[in-house]
A and B are shown apart, each in its own frame.
Chain A
Amino acid sequence: MTTEARAVTADELILDARGITKRFGGFVALNNVDLAVRPGERVGLIGPNGSGKSTLTNCLCGALKTDGGSIAFAGRAIDDLSSYQRARLGLGRSFQLPRPFHSLTLLDNLRIPLVYAVNARGGAHLTEQQIRTRSSDLLGEFGLGGKLHRLPGDLTQVEMRKLELARAMASDPTLLVSDEALAGLSHSEVDEILALLLALNTRGVAVIFIEHIMRAVMAFSERLAVLVAGEKIADGTPKEVIADERVIGAYLGQ
């Protein structure tokens, strides 16, 4: 038995994706996928490898064009907007494999979104001093305060993940798509990152949390969606979803 999310009006949603379809040649990667996220909500997204999670992320964030469906962000249709425009609207993203700007210091890694997303948004314009302060403060929150002037090449795995999240947060998003930020981390490292994400969420940032580590998913998500072979087969509270036989059969049972 699947439970649909409580019906909300479009205005209340930070993200309203409907009927997302994506084909690669003859292969249907996504088939009519709906995803709705309320402001400040924590939505988990799970599914087997190859089920289309990355494709969905790419479609939402503008890296791929959809073959069908519509995406609205904060009430506004964003289908025609490119990646950088969506980032400026407040759609943040952290990548599965960290993609730092490897020739820039950590401080300058955060400078990019601060200048190109926050400043470019209009509204409050950050001065050079404010950029440095904000950058070092944010890095400090993520425990990277001692390495402001180092290059990403000097970081450990976990620190790279933190940098990735810090950079995504620097663009001041209202929705963050976190793509497998925990993959390959140890037990305590997972807890560390989870705590950081929860702290971010308390600031009002909605999070789409794509993960395989079930205990993290259960701990973090207010709502859980399941993607299998390009289709959403479940969407409800975590407890309901993991009890769903179809979900167990397609994913959890493995």
Chain B
Amino acid sequence: MSNGRFITLACLVGIALVAASTFVTNEYYVFAAYFVLQYVVLATAWNILGGYVGYVNFGTTAFLAIGLYSAAALNKWLDLPIPVLILIAGLLCGAVGLAMGYLTIRLRGVYFTIATLALSVVVQTFITNWDYVGGSRGLYVMRPTEVPVFGSYVAYLFFLMTVLAVAAVAIARVIERSTFGFGLAAIRDDETAAAASGVPVLRLKLIAAAISGALMGMTGAPLPFYLTYVEPTSSFSLAYTVNSVAMPLVGGTTSWLGPVIGAILLGTMQQAMTVLISSSVNLLVVGVLLVIFVIAAPNGILGLLRSMGGKKTDPETNPLAAMLVTEKRSSQ
């Protein structure tokens, strides 16, 4: 399937989602769907650097928070429409991703990971000390005065998040099939051999880091307007980091489909568990699933499907399998 057709299909899915949301009367379902869509973006963004390149970011929360608080601060200062805030958050976090990458990516991969862990703490420190956004007390957010086309403000935000999710998945898919994506795979598989084949390793890693960071930041920007009250403890929740790592690893890291599967499965599971049991237990389950999958099913659900299907999932004999499971790697 060509990129153009894929994007069209993704847009159609997005439109269907938004349309469906306007008919749903119970706002909780819309909230749950927003939650899952958010994770589709975060998991996809994480995977661009984690799955495609092999650089592990444990600081998703930091990027999301930068996006969140920059939107909140800018909103307090100027009255900008949310899409503009989203774009600004994207640029800002893209720059942060670039900077983090530049400082650490020349070293062993693990140093990047350590730096991202520390980043979360540092960003939280800065935000907690920044009175303009309420410091540790939190901030009440006034929604911008623009008049949304949709019935309610929540519907408008849902629409924006759907757009973001469709965009993220489209970007991931386009990257996968592009020269850039093949370069990333080469780097992930063997960086030295990639360099010896002419791949500009540092440059490609930095681009991936920037894209990944930007998408994460963009996810954070609508949050202040959704919640109308932001404060550091929940904004810097470890849940964002754990989920953005677990979802691609559970779903499968080699293709755009993995993070989506992971986000839908784990996201829905968590929503159900929060309602049925409690919210801390559901995070524990995510952590346990992460460890189990990492040990027993390193290629995630996609990998399991591939190995269970045998001949049926052999791309050379089954075009459907080629499309779904080994989509990015088939040379049709």
Interface residues of A (CB under 8 A from B): 61-63, 82-84, 87-88, 92-93, 95, 99-105, 107-108, 111-113, 115-118, 120, 132, 148-149, 167-168, 170-171
Contact = CB atoms under 8 A, between A and B. Distances in A.
B193 A101 contact: yes
| Overall SS of chain A's interface | helix
Interface of B: 179, 182-183, 185-186, 188-190, 192-201, 254, 315-316, 329-331
Given A101-B193, A104-B186, 19 more contacts: A83-B195, A83-B196, A84-B194, A87-B196, A93-B196, A100-B190, A101-B186, A101-B190, A102-B189, A103-B254, A103-B329, A104-B185, A107-B331, A108-B331, A115-B182, A116-B197, A117-B198, A149-B315, A149-B316
9 contacts: A82-B195, A87-B198, A92-B196, A101-B186, A103-B189, A105-B329, A116-B179, A116-B197, A168-B196
A126 B182 CA distance: 16
Contacts, number: 94
A105 to B, nearest CB: 6
A129 to B, nearest CB: 12
Interface of B is mostly: helix
Contacts of B194: 84, 101, 112
Contacts of A118: 198
A179 to B, nearest CB: 11
Nearest to A113: B197
A99 B190 contact: yes
A104 B182 contact: yes
A87 B195 CA distance: 8
Nearest to A83: B195
Q: Which 3 A-B pairs have the closest CB atoms?
A: A117-B198, A83-B195, A116-B198
Nearest to B314: A149
A104 B186 CA distance: 8
A104 B193 CA distance: 13
A84 B331 contact: no
Contacts of A62: 195
Nearest to B179: A115
Nearest to B196: A93
Contacts of A113: 197-198
A43 B193 CA distance: 23
A63 to B, nearest CB: 6
